[in-house]
Amino acid sequence: MRYLIATIPGDGIGPDVTREAVTCLEAVAKVFELDFEFEECLMGGAAIDACGEPLPAATIRAACASHAVLLGAVGGSKWDGLPGPKRPEAGLLGIRSALGVYANLRPALMFPQLAGACPLRPELVEGGFDILIVRELTGGIYFGDRGRSPDGRYAWDTERYSRHEIERLLEVGFDAARRRKGRLCMVDKANVLESSRLWREVATQMGRERSDVELSFMYVDNCAMQLVRDPRQFDVIATSNMFGDILSDEASMITGSIGMLASASLGDDGPGLYEPIHGSAPDIAGMDRANPLAAILSAALLLRHSLGLEDGALAIEGAVALVLERGYRCADIATRSAPGPGAPVEGRARELLLGTRAMGAMVAETILGGSS
């Protein structure tokens, strides 16, 4: 079977890291004798420069016709002066809504090899941790009614959720928990918010019919605290759009670097959207300094969730773990800054600093069974 993958490199380091993710997918195709066809599409600043709009219709068509979409990142100061709907980020919201991806899966996985890059005390993260945040992506306060009074003295934003929106998101959470350690923690503010009470009601009803998953509840303020107090207690966290936005950034920071974290956005059917959680990092764009592992791990999620190729996903994730185990690091995850590419990082004799291309090639070679 031929799998069609739309790639959207975007801006800044987006093209650098997407290129390495494609290299790793090509390695997987070789090992498992798969047929991947890539179609590169424009979005963000690159699309504005080429055709005057952040999300060209051709990109939407190609994305919708694909099996999955692999996105780099968009944005940069060059386009900051443009009005909201014309900015690169409008492309992001547009592609998410065109694909109908309402569930955002953000694994916050700390590789034990990177414990040195984690800001928490070593005893709190010994052995690493593996949390999956399932965030509702297309509803809630970011999409609810908002406005300002005519005199400008007050403003409002509305959190609004339907049972249907909650159910479909929680179903993704239950499914994910079933495939992992079997624990789902629903995070809300049910002691204050009526919408949260509806989330709890729906979750409780669903939990009765899904007794193979251990369901628990936590208030969002407590969750923010627990993530830094004892991150290993969590398996899957399911939550609303805004709470998920905030908690997933917090969870990402305790893994060590934003350059390691992948994400998947899924709808009911149709292609999923896969992207590193970082932005376009204009400060290091084109310098061969970006860590491509978040994009490469996003490619693993693509294989798992959109193509059903679990072996391929495990091959990528295993190769990343092995490369880290052997001491290879990009600058953002090195224990200390090193003098240059390929040079040992002082303070940890076994660490060796790699640029974007070399890291991508190292993971690809490892997938192919090379002895690098």
Q: Given the rule CB under 6 A, which residues bind ligand NAD?
A: 13, 17, 73-76, 89, 92, 258-259, 275, 278-284, 290-291, 294, 332
Smallest gap from residue 284 Cβ to ligand NAD (A): 5
Residue 1: exposure state from Cβ atoms within 10 A (0-12, 13-18, ≥19): exposed
- Sign of the torsion formed by the C-alpha atoms of 139, 140, 145 and 147: negative
Whether 245 sits among the annotated catalytic residues: the reply is yes
Residues forming beta bridges with residue 39, ordered by sequence position: 6
Whether 78 sits among the annotated catalytic residues: the reply is no
Give the residue among 355, 354, 335, 356 at the shortest CA–CA distance from 346: 335
Among candidate residues 221, 230, 268, 311, the one labeled active-site is 221
Smallest gap from residue 280 Cβ to ligand NAD (A): 4
Smallest gap from residue 14 Cβ to ligand NAD (A): 7
Whether 189 sits among the annotated catalytic residues: the reply is yes
Please give the structure tokens belonging to residue 282.
Answer: 């204009």
Give the residue among 321, 324, 257 at the shortest CA–CA distance from 294: 257
Whether 30 sits among the annotated catalytic residues: the reply is no
Among candidate residues 3, 102, 189, 274, the one labeled active-site is 189
Smallest gap from residue 48 Cβ to ligand NAD (A): 12
Query: What is the residue type of 94?
Result: G
Closest to ligand NAD by CB, 202 vs 358, is 358
CA atoms within 13 A on the CB side of 346: 4
Closest to ligand NAD by CB, 76 vs 267, is 76
Whether 142 sits among the annotated catalytic residues: the reply is yes
Among candidate residues 130, 175, 249, 288, the one labeled active-site is 249
Radius of gyration of the chain (CA): 21
Closest to ligand NAD by CB, 245 vs 275, is 275
Whole-number Å distance between alpha carbons of 332 and 278 = 12
Closest to ligand NAD by CB, 104 vs 195, is 104
- As annotated, the active-site residues are 142, 189, 221, 245, 249
